[in-house]
Structure 1
Amino acid sequence: MSSVALIDDHESVRLGLEAACARAGVGEVVYSGATVRGYLAWRAATQAPRADVVVLDLMLGDGATVTENVTALVADGSPVLIHSVADRPAAVREALSAGAAGVISKASRTDDVIAAIRTIAQGQPLENLEWASAVDGDHAFADAQLANREREVLRLYAAGLPLKAVADRLGIAYSTAKENITRIRVKYVEVGRPAPTKVDLLRRAMEDGLVDERRRDARDDAGTR
């Protein structure tokens, strides 16, 4: 029996997957929590073996990026199955680029999710419709050609942080953060998706899966720099 870790900031989703895993006999859920940091801290404190599969929600509520979460889990030695909504191909593509082993939509049948967990636990590739859509259909994000640092700056800035706070959070100079925002705006203009205001940047970030719509912060003064 494989060991499975569930990381999702919706407790109901975790409980449902845990019950499904037990019912199907696909694996023992050894950890269930809301953040990657929490899982890694639990591993360090308990010296528990790495999970054979980590089922990870794409957008968590702790502010960590998709790349940070997937990279940390892969470095820890576990294959990652992204379990999220299917309308964020750019974020899914980012997860796959960071080393995720596969992706399955939350709209999928429970049996399909269990089959995906089993496939990845066996070390086999999961090349399904969600994977193909992320790789082949993400033309807008690819055309924008945002670098990893630019994505991090955009995600934090578009979500509502002042630019100075973004710089402090990322450990970079304010001038560097400002230059990143300028380059981001230029790149979006070049692909026909202009973003002259902060509200426009929020829209672009949502379109590209960098900001979760349910946590967006579109204040009246969001157009200020």
Structure 2
Amino acid sequence: MTRVALIDDHESVRLGLEAACARTTTKQIVFSGSTVAEYLNWRAFAAVPPADVVVLDLTLGDGTTVTENVSRLVRDGSSVIIHSVADRPAAVREALVAGAAGVVSKSSRIDDVIEAIATVARGDSLDNVEWANAIEGDRAFASAQLSARERDVLRLYAAGLPLKVVADRLGIAYSTAKENITRVRVKYVEVGRPAPTKVDLLRRAMEDGLVTEGSGGD
């Protein structure tokens, strides 16, 4: 049973998702409310584990930012799906950088939202057309300006190869490959797109078209 929390300040949206989840035997709505603070306070009071998946509206009416909301939920232990009209590229990009697992348009069929919840609960990636379109349409999306060598190292490393194998394949020293990954991380930080982990590097490589979704490995 996937434990789901719904956070949206439009009650009609929440009621629709609640009804759809109730029709399944694999999803349980554990919380439905209008703010992240309300959800976290409820969880602390009830002393229950975090929801497996939180379906979160991109913009809430309490003045919080998408970065703040996604970061708090991810730190709390939940995977986050953004449920939005996806017409604000900068905010969508911020959600991705903050760690959201994907986005589902509010114009999508309700069954698509339910399937997205199941996909993320399994630990799989969403087929995020909305992410790609938003990022491509965002002229403020800063390129990290990687060198050809850095792009080659990142492409192989982000696709799942150990750094030693990357070095061997490119015919360079392990130390050189490691230095390139370090420079890549620095460059992504400089443009506001930090990538502290290998998973984050895969996300950045996907954003920049260096690897395709599903290319990552263990």
TM-score, structure 2 length as denominator? 0.63
8 A Cα contact 1:52 1:78, kept in partner: yes
Question: In the alignment, which residue of structure 2 is the partner of 1:72?
Answer: 72
Partner of 2:141: helix, strand, or coil? helix
Residues 73-222 of structure 1 aligned to structure 2 (within 5 Å): 73-138=73-138, 140-142=139-141
SS, match of residue 126 in structure 2: coil
Q: How many Å apart are 1:88 and its aligned residue?
A: 1.2
Following TM superposition, by how much is the alpha carbon of 1:143 offset from its aligned partner in structure 2, in angstroms?
5.3
What is the DSSP-based 3-state SS (H/G/I as helix, E as strand, rest coil) of the residue aligned with 1:111? helix
SS at 2:140 equivalent: helix
Structure 1 stretch displaced more, 88-97 or 3-12? 88-97
Q: CA offsets per residue over residues 84-132 of structure 1, 9 Å max, x none?
A: 1121121111101000001000000111111101101111111321122
Gaps of at least 5 residues in structure 2 are: 145-218
The answer to whether the 8 Å contact 2:104/2:130 transfers is: yes
2:15 is aligned to 15
The separation in 2 between residues aligned to 1:86 and 1:115, in whole angstroms, is: 18
How many Å separate the matches in 2 of 1:4 and 1:47?
16
What SS class does the counterpart of residue 69 from structure 1 fall into?
A: helix
TM-score (normalizing by structure 1): 0.61
Distance of 2:53 and 2:71 partners within structure 1: 14
Residue by residue over 1:61-106, the C-alpha shift from the partner in whole angstroms, topping out at 9 and shown as x without a partner, is: 0001110000000000000000011211211111010000010000
Structure-2 separation of matches of 1:51 and 1:107: 24
Task: Give the structure 2 partner of residue 34 of structure 1.
Answer: 34
Matched to 1:142, the amino acid is: F
Give the residue type in structure 2 aligned to 1:7.
I
Contact 1:26–1:114 (Cα < 8 Å) also in 2? no
Q: Structure 1 unaligned segments of length 5 or more: list them.
A: 146-225
**Partners of 1:99 and 1:106 in 2: CA distance:** 20
- In structure 1, C-alpha distance between the alignment counterparts of 2:97 and 2:107, rounded to whole Å: 23
* Fraction of identical pairs, as percent: 68
Q: Residue in 2 aligned with 1:184?
A: none
Question: Helix, strand or coil: the match of 1:120?
Answer: helix
SS in 2 for 1:49: coil
Partner of 1:206: none
Shift of residue 144 of structure 1? 11
Cα deviation, 1:5-29, whole Å, max 9, x if unaligned, reads 0000001100100100111334100
CA 1:144–1:53 in 2, change beyond 3 Å: closer, same or farther? same
SS of the equivalent of 1:92 reads: helix
Aligned equivalent of 1:60: 60
User: Do the aligned partners of 2:87 and 2:134 also contact (CA within 8 Å) in 1?
Assistant: no
